[in-house]
Amino acid sequence: MREKLFRQRPLLTFPQILILVVMLVALFAALNLNRRAQAGRQVGAGEAVLQAELDLEVTRQVELQVTLEYVQSEDYVAAYARDEGGYLLPGEKRVVPLTIEVTPQPTPLPPPTPDPATRARPWQAWWRLLTDAPQPTP
């Protein structure tokens, strides 16, 4: 009878151990899925940046192709010859603007503003501080 009283119960039963193992496996699976989801988001963010750069470069390529076509055209050659090379077509006259060099004159200095402190008397300052009234005329 004493053996029955002191017989210890197991810490966890078989169903409890089974539930604990299932919970640990579920926790591991959830953490693994979270890690994979974060990695997928990072890949997607890099893809958007690369797509924006690709769009910019495609636009630049089109602009360069248009510029190449213009540079190889007769209009560009004629404009370059006229503007940069100084060539004229028959019947045209060259117009060269003349610039007149003028020496700038210095700006005259305005007369200095008179300082009222040079004409003030000491008693006028005291009168103003003590009475706060207009000064009497001398």
Q: Is the pTM of this model over 0.75?
A: no
Q: Is residue 40 part of a domain?
A: yes
Q: 3-class secondary structure for the chain?
A: CHHHHHCCCCCCCHHHHHHHHHHHHHHHHHHHHHHHHHHHHHHHHHHHHHHHHHHHHHHHHHHHHHHHHHHCCHHHHHHHHHHHHCCCCCCCCCCCCCCCCCCCCCCCCCCCCCCHHHCCCHHHHHHHHHHCCCCCCC
Q: Is residue 107 part of a domain?
A: no
Average pLDDT over every residue of 45-63: 90
Domain extent for 60: 15-84
Residues of the chain with pLDDT > 70, as a percent, come to 92
Q: Is residue 130 part of a domain?
A: no
Q: pLDDT band at 103, cuts 50/70/90?
A: confident
Backbone angles phi, psi at 115, to 5 degrees: -90, 120
Number of structural domains in the chain: 1
